[in-house]
Structure formats: C-alpha cells, structure tokens
C-alpha cells in the first residue's frame, strides 16, 4: 500500500495543497546534469543506495524535484534479433536501422505472437536493486515507474502502414490479439514491480500529433478502453496510483482518461495545441494535470518567460480548484538551459 505522505502523492490523490509539486520526466541527459551541477553547485550525496543503473538520484532530489520517472525496468535486458543491412528487431517487435525506428514491425500475423520469446521481464537481480533503491529514496523523492503503452507498442510492432491497413480493411482481430499480448505482459510487469515496493506508475503511450489525435477517439476507446481499465484496476486494488503520459494533442481524450480512472495525465504540450487553461475550467479536480512547461520554451526561452508562464499556470489552477504538478513536457535534454530549469523549480517552490 502506498503511504500518502508526500506532496506529490497528496496532489495525485486529489488533495488540494498550497504548494505545487515538481515532477522530473525521467533522468535528464548527462550533459545537462553536468551543466546544471557546474552552474549551481548541486552536490551528490555520494550514497550508493541512491544510485540506480549508474544514475545518481540524490542530484535530482537536491535540485528540488519531488518525483521522477524511472525508465529502466520496462523489460529485461537484450531481446530481439538481427536482420540484414544494419537492421534489427527489438524485443517489442519494432524494426530499427542502427538507432532509428523504421516505422515498421514484424507482428504481421498472430502466429508470431505464439512463438515470441524476445520480450522478458526484468531480472530478479534488477528487481532486488530496484527494491532496495525504492526503500532508500522514499520519501525524499517519489519513484514513478514508467510502463510501455498499449497503443504505441501495438502500432509500432505492426508498423504504421500495416496497422493503418488493418484498421481500414477491418482486420481488427489481429489488432486485438496484439493488444492482448502487450496487455498480458503489462499486467505481469506491474505485478513484478509491485513486488519491488513500487506504488506509482506512468504508462508512456503517445496518442497525439500536433493539433490532432493519432486515431479517432471512438476507435481508440474501442480497442484500448477495456484493456486499460483492467490494468488500472490492478493498480488501484492496492491503493496505488497510475498516470497516463502522452505527447501531442490529447485534449479530446481527457474525459476518456477520467472515465478509465487514471489519477493523472502528463505532458500536456502547449506547442501541440493543448490549452491547459480550458482543461482546468472544464475538468477542475477530476484528474491531476502534470506538465505543460514546454521543452521548446526551456530550450529557447528566458528565465523571465518561464517565471511569467508559471505564475499564470499556478494562478489559473488555483482559480479553478484544479490539481497541478509542474513538470517539463518531455525529458530534459542537453539543449535545455540550466537557468530555465532553475527558474522553473524556484518559482514553483515560491508560489
């Protein structure tokens, strides 16, 4: 059972507070960490218990974040196989050339699902490492375990063109079987992570482009609503929390996420057409809004621009009694200006 004793969990649990928590969208790129540490003298606590997969999470805590997404436990190490011409298939069934996804996959028929052995759960050793880390990091910093998304993994494992043809020509049985395949894996993964003491999860499942959804809302609901409801119920039965992450335009899906029972929705990209202020007004405190600080603003903007936007964001959230956790829309990469992240953290702590 999750102990609701942190500011992050309080807000995620629909408790309005006077302070907005700060969420870090995965461990920042190492070059950014170096730049930030050098600029502001952030110190590592040099505690091996706070280091996981060569990442020092004491630095993230000392920067001022309240929670962070951890991506390293979505699957076991390795998996997949090589193809010709520098191409390879990863454990999810996606075809890559060197490091680039080719918008194609190998799940073209249901027989391949029956013999697929490339997708495995994290090892027992990794789970033990995570279990020890989780005990030591909380309540200093809430770990949020990132999970694979059903929609994203389904179309990527099939390939964009083939997935689209299956939708158009009514080959829905194959799509459903692939969704079931990933759903079964996701349930096992959640159970494994729960055994490691994890109680907050984030499903990474991009559902939008800029200014429009990837597929129509009714089709998304037809294929994914039931399976996600089963997954969310597994989490909620242990009084734990689950967030949906999606880049792109997702404003028209917020009511679906609420009906499903997601505790929060993360990213909420302004540059993709998401107007969070209208979402505050429409949905108030029905779901926790996480994000909305556009990475492009953190790269190209100034500290004053970041401060002014944050002041308006927090002011409007409070006006509409909305639940807000401040975070960048995506991972903090090497191009992000350290002074803009400092402004984001300091302004949020002061307001």
C-alpha dist (Å) from residue 285 to 212, 220, 258, 275: 24, 24, 10, 16
Confidence of residue 202 (pLDDT cuts 50, 70, 90): very high
Quick one: average pLDDT of 3-20? 85
C-alpha dist (Å) from residue 348 to 188, 267, 325: 37, 17, 10
Q: Which is nearest to 201 in space by CA: 159, 143, 156, 152? A: 143
Q: Sheet holding 81-82: strands in order across?
A: 81-82, 87-89, 94-97, 100-105
Q: What does the angle CA 221 – CA 224 – CA 227 come to, to the nearest 5 degrees?
A: 130
Q: Tens digits of per-residue pLDDT, 158-194?
A: 999 999 999 998 889 999 999 999 999 999 999 999 9
- pLDDT in the model for residue 2: 42
- pLDDT in the model for residue 19: 86
- pLDDT in the model for residue 11: 95
Range from 8-17, 60-69, 128-137 carrying the lowest mean pLDDT: 8-17
Class for domain 7-76+107-350, per CATH? alpha beta
**Contacts of range 128-136, beta carbons closer than 8 Å, 24 or more positions apart:** 128/196, 129/52, 130/52, 130/73, 130/193, 130/196, 130/197, 130/198, 131/195, 131/196, 131/197, 132/49, 133/49, 133/50, 133/52, 133/57, 134/196, 134/197, 134/198, 135/197, 136/47, 136/49, 136/50
> Which residues, 6+ apart, have CB-to-CB distance to 212 below 8 Å?
249, 273
Listed by start position, the domains of the chain span 7-76+107-350
> Which residues, 6+ apart, have CB-to-CB distance to 191 below 8 Å?
234
> Which residues, 6+ apart, have CB-to-CB distance to 54 below 8 Å?
none
């Amino acid at each position: 059972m999750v102990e609701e004793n942190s500011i992050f969990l309080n807000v995620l649990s629909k408790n309005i507070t006077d302070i907005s928590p700060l969420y870090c969208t995965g461990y920042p790129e190492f070059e950014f960490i170096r730049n930030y540490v050098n600029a502001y003298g952030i110190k590592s606590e040099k505690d091996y218990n706070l280091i996981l997969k060569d990442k020092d999470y004491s630095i993230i805590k000392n920067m001022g974040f309240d929670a962070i997404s951890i991506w390293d436990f979505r699957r076991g190490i390795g998996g997949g196989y090589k193809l010709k011409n520098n191409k390879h298939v990863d454990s999810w069934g996606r075809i890559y050339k060197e490091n680039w996804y080719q918008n194609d996959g190998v799940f073209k028929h249901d027989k391949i699902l029956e013999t697929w052995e490339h997708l495995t759960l994290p090892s027992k050793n990794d789970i033990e490492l995570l279990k020890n880390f989780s005990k030591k990091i909380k309540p200093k910093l809430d770990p949020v375990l990132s999970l694979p998304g059903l929609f994203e993994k389904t179309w990527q494992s099939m390939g964009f063109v083939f997935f689209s043809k299956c939708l158009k020509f009514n080959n829905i049985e194959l799509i459903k079987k692939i969704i079931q395949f990933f759903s079964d894996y996701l349930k096992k993964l959640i159970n494994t992570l729960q055994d490691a003491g994890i109680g907050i999860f984030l499903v990474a499942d991009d559902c939008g482009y800029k200014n429009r959804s990837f597929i129509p809302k009714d089709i998304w609901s037809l294929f994914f609503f039931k399976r996600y409801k089963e997954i969310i119920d597994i989490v909620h039965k242990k009084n734990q929390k689950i967030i949906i992450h999606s880049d792109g335009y997702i404003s028209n899906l917020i009511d679906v996420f609420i009906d499903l029972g997601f505790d929060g929705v993360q990213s909420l990209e302004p540059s993709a057409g998401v107007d969070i202020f209208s979402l505050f007004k429409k949905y108030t405190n029905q779901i926790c809004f996480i994000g909305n600080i556009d990475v492009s603003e953190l790269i190209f903007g100034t500290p004053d621009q970041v401060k002014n936007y944050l002041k308006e964001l927090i002011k409007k959230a409070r006006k509409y009694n909305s639940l807000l956790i401040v975070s960048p829309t995506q991972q903090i990469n090497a191009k992000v200006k350290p002074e803009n992240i400092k402004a984001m953290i300091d302004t949020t702590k002061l307001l």
